[in-house]
Chains A and B, each alone.
Chain A
Amino acid sequence: MKIDKIQNGKELTLAIEGRLDTETSPELDKIVTESIGGIETLILDFANLEYISSAGLRVLLKSHKAMIDKGQMKITNVSDIVLSIFDVTGFTDILTIE
């Protein structure tokens, strides 16, 4: 997994490439936790995300909750394969997907 950070004022975009699984999800968790101070909009760009497991979903839920009081978290460019995982777990209703 590779994560690119792009900050624009109070908006932070994390572009995630590869797999969000048991092994890599703690890394995203760490980057989100360390980076959201002063951030009002967190954008996760999933254009190059190939795979997500429950470990990844757990980090998304945690990040989403962390952003509720600060502003919002949005997920962009979700592939059909990843969207199918959001659908069966009800995450499509929880997350802001654009």
Chain B
Amino acid sequence: MDKQTGKSYEILLEAKVENVGKVQDFIKSHLTGTECSPKALMQIDLAAEEIFVNIANYAYTPDDGDANVRVEVLDEPVTVIITFIDHGKPYDPLKRDDPDTSLPAEERDIGGLGIFLTKTIVDEVIYEYVNNSNILTLKKKL
């Protein structure tokens, strides 16, 4: 991989929950050779699941559609950038309120936990709506 120019790789798949594993495998296949700790790898897996499942469940309902996932690894500091692009309904997950993680079990509402988890385990989450596309970018230093 040409790390200097931060070469990027892209996959196009149907935005369906059963494709989460393919997305995770695609991302991980481009992290081999980087010094990625098991914990960081798990966090990247997790962020990818949360974001892709959101797209699969909400972007096109009740219709079907595709999503692009792009992976780029930058050098110094080694940073992975993962971009999710769908052409469904405009939706900015960052506008969602964070769940109150201090509430007791009886009062906990589980909604919004996926995006909250994603925000806490990556370094940066950026949302844009450009050319009728939702573009969500995750950046994580390895």
Contacts and interface: CB of A to CB of B under 8 A. Distances in A.
Whether both chains belong to one complex is answered with yes
Interface of A: 21-23, 50-51, 53-55, 57-58, 61, 64-65, 68, 80-81, 84-85, 88-90, 93-95
Interface string B83-112: 000000000000000010111111010100
Given A51-B42, A58-B113, 10 more contacts: A21-B49, A54-B114, A55-B53, A57-B110, A81-B39, A85-B46, A88-B120, A90-B102, A93-B102, A95-B105
Contacts of A95: 105
Majority SS at the chain B contact face: helix
Contacts of A58: 110, 113
B74 interface: no
Nearest to B46: A53
Interface in B43-71: 45-46, 49-50, 53
A84 B40 CA distance: 11
A98 to B, nearest CB: 17
Contact of B46 (A51, A65, A68, A93): A51
Given A65-B106, A68-B106, A54 B117 contact: yes
B39 A23 contact: no
A27 to B, nearest CB: 14
A54 B113 contact: yes
Contacts of A84: 39
B117 A89 contact: yes
A61 B110 CA distance: 8
B101 A89 contact: yes
